[in-house]
Structure 1
Amino acid sequence: MSDVINTAVEALQRKMPSGFGGGVAKFVIPGEGSIIVDGTGVRAEDSEADVTLTASGEVFRAILEGEMNPTMAFMTGKLAVDGNMGLAMQLGAAMG
């Protein structure tokens, strides 16, 4: 597992200590790996999800640190969303 993924898992665990009860979300950082967030917590894993969010490590870092709004990242093409868009919006609010 890459340092980028480890750092992202830790940041997501701080933002969502109880996980995400709305469904299963997958964050994909190309060249680094994947993270699953669900009702059981946050972990480095590549499995099926209701929604998949894909962005560079730099974009994910900016979102997690509050430097970039997830909606703006999506609107400007820096964040790709595949699957349940409503769930993606709930996830963005939970990461707030």
Structure 2
Amino acid sequence: MSDILNQAVAELNSKIAAAGFDSTAKFEIADEGAIIMDSEGARISDDPADVTLSADADTFRSILDGDLNPTSAFMSGKLTVDGDMGVAMKLASVLA
């Protein structure tokens, strides 16, 4: 298992629990794997989701650390979104 994924799951679980995220989102991290986030929390998985966000590990880490706004990452092409844009925007507010 990737250290990046394990650390991200722990951090995302604390953010999701506080925000009451009720949709399904997937982060695909290049060369690392995927994380699913839903009402039960975050876990390492490649299950289908309402929205899939794809980025490299550095971009993902910057978003998670709060150094990079998810919307800015999307607008600059560092983050791609496939699926329900409304869910992506909800997730962006959870990560902020």
- What TM-score does the superposition give when structure 1 sets the normalisation length? 0.93
More helix as a share of residues? 2
Q: Percent identity?
A: 53
Partner of 1:12: 12
Partner of 2:95: 95
Structure 2: gaps (5+ residues): none
Partner of 1:86: 86
1:61 and 1:34 map into 2 onto residues whose CA distance is 14
Question: Is the partner of 1:16 in helix, strand or coil?
Answer: helix
1:20-60 Cα shifts (integer Å, max 9, x gaps): 21x11000001111000001111001101000000011111
1:43 and 1:65 map into 2 onto residues whose CA distance is 18
2:26–2:51 Cα contact (<8 Å) kept:
yes
How much does 1:7 deviate? 1.3
1:34 and 1:12 map into 2 onto residues whose CA distance is 13
User: What do you get for the CA RMSD once the two structures are aligned?
Assistant: 1.1
Amino acid paired to 1:78: K
